[in-house]
Structures are given as structure tokens and as C-alpha cells.
Structure 1
Amino acid sequence: METQVGYERFFDPEDIFFSTTDRRGVITRSNRTFDILSRYHRDRLIGAPHNIIRHLDMPAGVFRLMWDDLEAGRPACAYVRNRAADGLDYCVFATIVPVSDGFLSVRTKPLDTATFEAVNNVYRGVRARERAEAAQGASRRRVGEVGAAALTAELNALGFDSLHAMTLQQVPREISALVSAGVRVPQPMGVDGPVTRILQAAGDLERATNLLVFELEEYLRLLTSMSGTRSGLLDVADRADSFGRVVSGRRLNIADRADALAAQIIELSQTVAPRLRDLPASMDALRDAVLELRYSVALIRLHTLMVGRFARSVLDGSEESPADSIVALCGALEAGFAQLGPVCREVEEGVITLDGEISQITPLLDRMVRRLSRWVDRRGGRNSATAEAADLVDHGNPEVRDLAALAAECRGLHLPYHEDAVNERLAVLREAVGQL
């Protein structure tokens, strides 16, 4: 249902819509909802450049950054204000992915209102800079470059180091909000046929990703907590260096028991400290992989919803020549699922590797503390010569204990993705699409 406030048109969360373009951005397909919101007849849209609905208040830098991502083979997203044929504005959250013959863009109602408003404020400032640049005679290309640089700087202030970083965060947020608003794959009606089977398969695929979403959030919670131990880990690494330093400083006589302990402590220090300093990068890489996976799952959920809702509108008879469109939508959905299984395995293997590394480091640190304690005793106990070493023994390494507990908890999780079952549903989907 549409509403109008001033010069802006609003639509409901369930009114998700799409279009496809060729590699140059020329529209090749659309659905009924897009036609209605844009107020353009289908014949006018097909074959027109997608900027037919571009609003003059939209910064050129937004589209420059989106094209940069798409040309690099990455999906892109952005909040976009469009101008319909009747002069009214409407705002969307647009996700765009490369497909075989161009690009697929699915648009939804912006539901993360706080980020949406913050981004709109950024757009106003960036657009003002672009207009000032254009007034000085800059080319359209130069205006886009200036806008892209300004927008990147402003996104940094919002906590996103690039448009792709915003894509990774906002697609899951917006799709989660969409699902929370009650948008689902419609239930199939009683009439049997390929479109009904597409609806049934889409519903099964929707359920297959639901549990995955919740488990990924738990992974992120634990990995974010682990990332919070970074400074503590580096402190432990510095402390490990100190273990080696306090027992060195003179030529060691291995026949002497205290010197033999010192040699072992130095060897342990040289082994453990670098491994501790490598852990934050490993944790960051694993967290990045989970963010990418969470984003991929969100995009799959969006495409599943789009397939289901478009199939239902086909059954309702409201779509013109739908076969090509549903083929394109299902193709994008299959492409997303094709990457999901390997990435899930990569994440789980990464968790096992990280837990294994921490499990190896922890006993090495304990061994180093025990040997240093014995070295202190051999040197006559706590005195002016051994005070620093005794302090290191007393302090221990509690930070690593906390990290090990988080890693073990993370390893205890399991991504509930049943690839064989999903492939069976995709085969049903493929067969039904083929019958169209």
C-alpha cells in the first residue's frame, strides 16, 4: 500500500521489487511493483538507462563507488532516493549483484532508520561539494571522483571504511528488519504447476537459512569479544619477551641447573611471543570471514524472498512475460547458494585452527611461568636480583585463559547448513524454472 507525504511516496516492507540491466546499466527486465512506484510504463522502462529514475539530489559519488565494486565483481548496496515519472520521490535500499548478462538490483523499503537518516545527511554534504566542483567547470567524471572521495571520508566517520564495508553491515541489518516486519515467502496456492513448485522450493530454502542466521550472530558475538582481547594479548607477548630478558644477559652454563632453566625460558619466549602477536590478525581474518558469510546469507534470504514474492505475483496474473525474469532471479539465488557450503566449511575450519593455536600457546605459557618460578628459587628466591622475574611469575597470564575459553565456546558452535538438502531443493527449483 502506498502513502504520500508532501512530495514523497512511501511503500510497505512487503513491496520488494527488482530490475535487471545489461553491463551498461540499460534496463532489461522489471516487475510490476517497480513499474507502479516509478510511474513509468513497462515499455518506457525496458531499454532505458537505469538513471531514468535518478534524483538530482543523489551524489554522483555514490554511483561511482557502486560501479567500482560491481566492476570488481563485488555486490554493492546503497540507500537511494529516486524520482518517479510524476515528480514524486521514493527512497529505497538497493542491493546490486553481477549476473551472467548484467546486473540484478533488488530494492526494499529502508528500515534501519537511524543509518538511513545519517546517510541522507552525508549525501546532502557530498552533493553540495559536487555542485561546487561542477560550478567551477569540472567534468562529470571529475565530479564523480570528487564525490566518491568525499563520500568515502564521510562513511569513515559513520564507522564504515568503504562502501563495501557498509554493504557487509547494512544488507544483514536491512534484511533482518524486513523479516522482523513479517515479510516472508508467500504460501503456495492450491493450483499445481511449475510456479507453485517454485514457491514451495523457495519456502523450503527460506527455512534452510533461518537457523544459520542465528548461529552466525553467535559466532560474531564471540569473535567480537575475542577481538576485544587484542591489547591484552599484546601485553602478554611483551611479558613473554620479558621472561626471556630477565634470565639472559650473561653467558649461560648449561651444566648449571639455573642456567639450563634460563635457556629453556629463552627458547619458550622466542617461540611464544611471535605466535601471540600473530593471533589478533588471525582473529580479525576469521571475523571478516564471518561478516562476509553473514552478508552472503542475508543476500540469499533477500533473493529467496524476491523469487517467492515474484512467483506469487505471477500466479496472481499481475506480471507480464515473467519467464525470463524468474529465470534471472533463480539464477542469482543459485549462484549465492553455490558459494555458501564452501564458505561455511572455511569458517568452521578457521575456528578449529584458531582454537588449536590458542590451545597450543596456553600450555607453553604455563610451562614458561613454571620454569621461571623454579629459576627464581634457584637464584635464592625473591631478592633484588630476581624481583622482576618474581613479579612476572606472580602476574601469570590470565588474559590468555579468557581468550581460550572464548575460543573453545566458539568451536562448540556449528553452522546448521545442510548442503545436500539445499541442493535437492535447488534441483526442484531448476526443474520448475525449466518448465517455464
Structure 2
Amino acid sequence: MSNTDKCVSASTKFEMADILVSRTDKRGVIQTANALFQSVSGHPWEKLRHAPHKVIRHQDMPKGVFWLFWTMLQQGDPIGAFVKNKSENGEHYWVFAIATPLDDGYMSVRLKPQGPLFETIVKSYEKLLAAEQSKEVTPEESAAMLVEHIKDLGFRDYKAFMTKAVTEQIGMRDQELGNPTNVMIAHMAKAMEAWEKVSVEIHKTIEAFAKFERLPVNMRIQATHLSDAGNAFGVIAGNFTTLTGQIKGLISSLLKSGTALESALLEGLFLTCVTQLQTEVVDVFRHEVHQMDGVDKDTEVSIMQAQNQRYNAKSTEGLKVSASQLDGFNSIFASIKTLHSGISVMRVTADIEISQIQNLQTASLSAIVEELEKFLQTEGDRLTLMVDGASLVQHEIKCALEVNAKNNKSLDAYSGGLLKAS
């Protein structure tokens, strides 16, 4: 049964294929909605229109969720969140809501949620609500607690969480409904996954070089026991310190650039998911058969088409920014590789110096050089992983841009055909 075939009644169920849509003003007062939103909520349209959106708010929802929701929207950022709503008859229904700012308000699109992440966040909400009720925390403090819950789940921040959530929700929905996979989302999700692995290796490298700093120090100490014969090791240790300091500087630059890249990838992926849903929303409104007082279908379709185009443009720009940021990574990797080679040369020089000294003290130096050898092997392998990972990210972004260009070309042709037909 299609959305448009369903009667408008409080008994209407919220199915996986359904999309609930509403548009509010800046205060959150409902201006328009699709018929399914009205039927699932159970409220008559005359009560919903010009009512604050909290008319469907459930008392089990933590206030911190809505504090975060409105804070991001008022900053001009889109947001996605799992929300428990209350229907007119007192029953509840869960949604994954994606809200985006409009020029004069906000548009919200809702899917029926499912999956492990949804089940996990429901439990987090229960704990958050209990904290609000027992500790009398403010909504802002509650929002901060929610973000900490999100980090405990392994996410960098709330934006990373909501991006993962919307990607999963769309993927599970498409699979259950037998819809074709969104190729652009798939490429961007792979790019995000590949970058997360690169990021792990960058952090491991930073930790490894922090521990490595003791090796040149130990080499200097051991060299002092060799009198004049140890002078060469003092020089070698100094060179080690210089080279590793330069590598640490490059790794820090890589981390900084990587943080910016990750933000761009997250935004691009989230906006691409939003664009897919908004495209479906336009089609939902275009085929609405239940007219509600005060809702002009053509006007709503026009507003939603414009919003869809804006977010498609933002998604494309996010992809281009990501591609541009990756261009600088190869030069950083090349510089790190060159410095690695320099350390390898110093290691060989240390081996030669040790072989020329007949002294029991060289056993300690040999152990240091052996440890250095293992360090270089491990870090060389890790550098290869990072280079390969960054190349995969670049490939997936390139593929996503190509798909985006084809989609936009098809959309332009479709729009042009509509114009000629009219």
C-alpha cells in the first residue's frame, strides 16, 4: 500500500516505507505537513496547524536532546536525532528525525528507526532522563551528558554519531524495501571508513614517536662511557633527535589536516543522505492526494525542491573540499618517508661505529640500535598503511564526485524536459 492510498486516521501505523514531513517557522510552530504526519500523530489538522511542534513531544524524551537539537539548528546546522513522539491517543512512536534550516524556519523529515544503534540510544535516553529527574540538571548540562554518552560509544562527537545513524537508517531501510543502493552514499561511506583507519594509524604513530624519544637519550648516555670513541654516537643521537622532531612536526600537520578532512567527510556524507531523503520528500508531496486547509501543494513542492537543490550543492562542495584537502597529504607522506630514510641511514652508521669499537659497553648500544631497527620496521609498515588508506579515500571521493556529476546532469535534463512540457 502506498503512502497516498492510506486514509487519514489516528490508527494509521508508521511503516518502514513511510516518511513524515513537517515545516515550521523559526519558533517551531507547525506551518505545513504531509498527510501521513497528521495521521500518525492522530491530531486533526486544524489542531496541528499553527501549534508548537512540542504538541507531539513525549514525556520520556530527555530535555537535553531538544536543547542540542535547537542549538545546532539555530547555528544554521542540520541535525539528526532519534526521537520518541506521542500521538493524540497517548500512544508513542519512534522516529529518526532530520531537521534542516530554511530561510524562514525549519523542515523536518522522519524515518522509522531500527537497528542496534537505535536500541543503544534508547537505553542512553533512559539513563539521561533519570539523571534529569533525580539530579535536576539543566537542559544544557543534559545535552553535555548526551554527548559524553555518544563519545563512550566510540564517536568523536555528536555530528559523527548522527552521520553514522542516518547512513545506517537509510541503508537498512533501502535493504528492507528492496530499493537500489545509493551509490554516492556507498562511496562516501567507504571513504569515511577508510579515513577512520588512517586516523587510527596516525594516532599510533604519534604515540610511537613519543616513546622513541628516549632512544637517542639512552644512546648519548651509553656513549659517555666510551670516552672519545663515543663522540660519534653523540652526533648520531643528535641527528636522530633532529630527524624525529621533523617527523613529529609533519605528523602533527597530518593530524590537523586529517581532523579538517574528517569534518568535511562527515558533513558531505550527512548532507548526501539528507539530499536523498529530500528528493523522496519532494515526490511524496507531489503525489499527496489529501489536501489540508492552508497547505498549497505546489508551494510546498517548490520550497522542498529549492531545499533539495541547496543541500545537493552543499554536499557537492563538501566532496570537493575533501578532495582538495587530500591533495596535500601525498606531499606530507613523501616528506615523512624521506625522513624515515634518513633515520635508517643513521641506524646503519651506528652499526658501523659499533663494529669498530672493541668494548663491552657496545652491547648496550647494540641493544638500542636493535630496538631502533624494530621501530623503523613498524613505522615503515604503518606509513604504508596510511598512504594506501589515503589513496583509497581519494579514490572513493573521486567516484562519488563522478556519480554526483552524472546525477546532476540527469536532473538537469529531467528538469529541462518538465519545462518544455509545460
Shorter-normalised TM range: 0.7 to 0.9
Distance 1:179-1:278 versus aligned 2 partners, 3 A rule = same
* Partner AA of 2:127 in structure 1: G
The CA deviation at 1:429 is: 6.9
1:12 corresponds in structure 2 to 15
Task: Say which of 333, 344, 360 aligns to 2:335.
Answer: 360
Aligned to 1:215: 187
Cα deviation, residue 168, structure 1: 2.2
1:166 to 158, 161, 165: 161
Q: Given the superposition, is the C-alpha separation of residues 8 and 274 from structure 1 closer, same or farther in structure 2, using an over 3 Å criterion?
A: farther
Q: CA deviation at 1:149?
A: 4.3
Residue of structure 2 in register with 1:399 after alignment = 379
1:107-147 C-alpha deviation (Å, 9 max, x unpaired):
111122x222332233333334434567xxxxxxx753454
User: Aligned Cα RMSD in Å?
Assistant: 3.6
**Residue 82, structure 1, aligned to residue 57, structure 2:** no
Q: CA deviation at 1:35?
A: 1.4
Paired with 1:328 and 1:267, the residues of 2 have a C-alpha distance of: 59
The alpha-carbon distance between structure 1 residues 273 and 155, as it changes in their structure 2 partners (threshold 3 A), is closer
Distance 1:381 1:363, change over 3 A: farther
Are the counterparts in 2 of residues 16 and 306 from structure 1 also a CA contact under 8 Å? yes
Show the counterpart of 2:309.
334
**Which residue does 2:388 correspond to in 1?**
408
CA distance in 2, matches of 1:434, 1:302: 27
1:98 shift after superposition:
0.6
Q: 2:35 aligns with which of 32, 36, 60?
A: 32
Name 2:361's counterpart in structure 1: 384
| Equivalent position to 1:226, from 192, 198, 222 | 198
**Structure 1 residues 127 and 9, CA gap change in structure 2 (3 angstroms):** farther
String of CA shifts for 1:218-271, please: whole Å, max 9, x gaps: 2233223223324541354246645654665799x9xx9888766654543332
Amino acid at match of 1:404: T
- Write the distance in 2 (CA, Å) between the matches of 1:121 and 1:178: 22
Name the CA distance, whole Å, in 1 between partners of 2:324 and 2:81.
32
Q: Which residue of 2 aligns with 1:125?
A: 127
CA 1:381/1:298 → structure 2, altered by over 3 Å: closer, same or farther? farther
2:176 matched to 1:181?
yes
CA contact (8 A) 1:376 1:389 kept: no
Return the TM-score normalized by structure 2: 0.80
Post-superposition offset of 1:21: 0.2
TM-score, normalization by structure 1: 0.78
Between Structure 1 and Structure 2, the one with more helix by share is 2
Unaligned runs of 5+ in 2: none
Selected match of 2:55 from 52, 55, 60: 52
Residue pair 2:23, 2:105 contacting (<8 A) in 1 also = yes
The 8 Å contact of residues 354 and 366 in structure 2, kept in 1 or not, is answered as no
Distance (Å, rounded) in 2 between the aligned partners of 1:92 and 1:434:
39
Which stretch has the larger CA shift, 121-130 or 93-102? Answer: 121-130
Q: 1:294 to 1:400 in 2, by over 3 A?
A: farther
Please tell me whether the aligned partners of residues 57 and 84 of structure 2 are also in contact (alpha carbons under 8 angstroms): yes
| Residues in 2 aligned to 1:404 and 1:232: alpha-carbon distance in whole angstroms | 13
Q: Does 1:69 align with 2:72?
A: yes
